[in-house]
Amino acid sequence: MAATAPVCNYRWQAPAFRLPATDGRVLSLTELAGPRGTLILFICNHCPYVKAVLDRIIRDARNLMALGIGVAAISANDARAYPQDGFAAMTAVAETHHFPFPYLYDETQEVARAYGAACTPDFFGFDARLGLQYRGRLDASGRNPAPDGARRELYEAMKQIAETGHGPVDQVPSIGCSIKWKAA
């Protein structure tokens, strides 16, 4: 089921967390934060929206990391109901696609709830003080191939945050598959 992320709540502070990564480390938000900003993205392995843009996410993450932006992806889907989103499968995806950023597992879903994650992909762009400055989409393509010359909205927003500390005024929310929450 498709879901849309809410609009940006400027300066909302990033909730702290400590999660296991597919590379065997356990990482905290402060360890992941970059000197010029931080991008936390909620993704999963099976979502067609994520699969369609994964190459662009990886490209933009590499470019942003070179600008001093810390980047990490988090998967919070219910792995019991969606085994393809479990930790072993996450590790395989991260290795196959050579993720340049840590891929973290939120098994309890507490971090996704604290962030208010709504869909995959869902992008949270923070300034150097971990205040939210961007809650928008990657680009206008959705789950379609990006047309030539497509504007790199996430990259441009995060570059602006790195340079000025402020995100763009106009932001279009991300759309994707809903987070697969565990039954209560």
Convert the pLDDT of each residue in 112-159 to its tens digit: 999 999 999 999 999 999 999 999 999 988 888 777 788 999 999 999
Rounded to the nearest 10°, the torsion over CA 142, 75, 66, 8 is 60
Q: Are 103 and 73 in contact (CB under 8 A)?
A: yes
pTM for the full predicted model: 0.95
Kindly state the tokens that stand for 125.
């762009």
Q: Which domains does the chain have, with CATH numbers?
A: 2-141+151-178 (3.40.30.10)
Residue 3 above 80 pLDDT?
A: no
Residue 22 above 90 pLDDT?
A: yes
For 53-70, how does the pLDDT look when each residue is reduced to its tens digit (9 = 90+)? 999 999 999 999 999 999
d(CA 70, CA 90) in angstroms, rounded, equals 20
Whether the CA torsion 60, 65, 67, 70 is positive or negative: it is positive
